[in-house]
Copies of this chain bind each other. A is one copy, B any other.
Amino acid sequence: MKTTTHRLALIGFGTVGQALAKIIAAKQADLKQLRHIRLQIVAVATPGKGSLYHPDGLDIAALFAALEKDGTFAGYPDSPGLERGWSNLALARDSNADTVVEVSHTDMTTGQPALDHCRTALSRGKNVVTSNKGPVALAYADLSALAAANNARFLFESTVTAGTPSLRLARHALAGNEITAMRGILNGTTNFILTEMEAGRSYADALAKAQSLGYAEADPTADVEGIDALAKVLIVANAVMGCALTKDEISCRGITQLTADDIAAAKAAGKRWKLIGQVEKQGGQVEASVQPVLLPLSDPLAQVMGTTNAVTYRTDLLGDVTLVGAGAGGIETAAGLLADILAI
């Protein structure tokens, strides 16, 4: 069978972009043998490291060698056809990539600049694969319509529970079922903090531990105030359940008001606080929220500890179906991008 080459432009080359490049390098032989496909990175672009474009493909080992030298692509060797300094939008518009991999930073207010990257690529008929929650949470309907109009694909498995395939489970594997509700532990940082608090730490100590382990940002607002979970609720509501919800229609409360006493009282009562994102359709109405919920230990979501994520879909034919797995991490997120690329 003939091997097909599929060209990728990576906008963003942080933890996730780098993990994807490493996985592609490591799996190239398997992909060729088992799936008859060669994934070729033709462009990488970042605000801090510069940008590179070669229509015949970049050398992944040389990318990392350059970064190791001085943290930029300056040391990537010149060769005929190599171009430097293309902007993100130019790559999305004019590169020869089949698929733009959007892995720049998430902005949950405007979705920018990722939203423009996605729009530009899709309007040129390029597929977009992204782990960036902003564009999907804020503009799913627009972007999927744009993709359809240009005969391109718009895929975003790793925006929810990283590469653990909660979207593909619902959108494909549960085909034929109607999904009437979703409840999930959609943010690993807050679940880690709650787990640590149950083990006896204060909120401040648990947060500090999460930060020292790289699970929480220096500014933890997006995680602890529920905004990250809110983005994922929006994505599931819109892309899985067909509910055209917007950010302002979802009540959102994080974990910052939970005290060590609350956690201890729950434990004593055989229960457990979890930050739960949920969407429920009932008779034409949709209810969605992010908030701490006191769960009995018999609830499958109550047993999900540490940074692990979980999603329970309520279906008409199968009842509850729960998926549990990693919800963050560079490799885990890149795995979702790879699954999307292979689906194209």
Q: Which residues of chain A have a CB within 8 Å of any CB of chain B?
A: 23, 27, 30, 162-165, 168-169, 172-178, 298, 300, 303, 305, 315, 317-326, 331-332, 334-335, 338-339, 341-343
B332 touches A318 (CB 8 A): yes
Q: List 16 A-B contacts (CB under 8 A).
A: A27-B176, A162-B318, A163-B318, A165-B169, A165-B174, A168-B173, A169-B169, A174-B339, A175-B342, A176-B339, A177-B339, A298-B305, A319-B325, A319-B326, A320-B325, A321-B324
Minimal beta-carbon separation of A249 from chain B (angstroms): 24
A325 touches B335 (CB 8 A): no
Q: Collect the chain B residues with CB atoms within 8 Å of residue A339's CB.
A: 173-177
CB-CB nearest in chain B for A325? B321
**8 Å CB contact of A338 from B27, B176, B323:** B176
B323 touches A322 (CB 8 A): yes
Given A321-B325, A322-B323, 5 other A-B residues pairs in contact with their CB atoms under 8 A: A165-B321, A168-B173, A172-B172, A175-B339, A323-B323
Query: Given A163-B317, A303-B303, are A176 and B323 also a contact pair (CB < 8 Å)?
Result: no
A321 touches B164 (CB 8 A): yes
B321 touches A322 (CB 8 A): no
Copies of this protein in the complex: 2
B173 touches A165 (CB 8 A): yes
Q: Collect the chain B residues with CB atoms within 8 Å of residue A320's CB.
A: 325
Query: Given A174-B339, A317-B334, are A325 and B322 also a contact pair (CB < 8 Å)?
Result: yes
Q: Collect the chain B residues with CB atoms within 8 Å of residue A164's CB.
A: 318, 321
Minimal beta-carbon separation of A113 from chain B (angstroms): 28
Q: Collect the chain B residues with CB atoms within 8 Å of residue A335's CB.
A: 176-177, 315, 317-318
CB-CB nearest in chain B for A315? B335
CB-CB nearest in chain B for A174? B165
Minimal beta-carbon separation of A40 from chain B (angstroms): 16
Q: Collect the chain B residues with CB atoms within 8 Å of residue A298's CB.
A: 305
Choose among A165, A169, A176, A303 the residue with the greatest number of B CB atoms under 10 Å from its CB: A176
Minimal beta-carbon separation of A21 from chain B (angstroms): 14
Minimal beta-carbon separation of A145 from chain B (angstroms): 16
Minimal beta-carbon separation of A270 from chain B (angstroms): 13
CB-CB nearest in chain B for A313? B325
Q: Collect the chain B residues with CB atoms within 8 Å of residue A305's CB.
A: 298
A324 touches B322 (CB 8 A): yes
**8 Å CB contact of A303 from B172, B300, B321, B326:** B300
Q: Collect the chain B residues with CB atoms within 8 Å of residue A176's CB.
A: 23, 27, 335, 338-339, 341-342
Q: Collect the chain B residues with CB atoms within 8 Å of residue A165's CB.
A: 169, 173-174, 321
Q: Collect the chain B residues with CB atoms within 8 Å of residue A175's CB.
A: 338-339, 342-343
Bound Cα distance from A326 to B324, whole angstroms: 15
Bound Cα distance from A300 to B302, whole angstroms: 11
**8 Å CB contact of A318 from B173, B318, B325:** B325
Minimal beta-carbon separation of A158 from chain B (angstroms): 10
Minimal beta-carbon separation of A306 from chain B (angstroms): 10
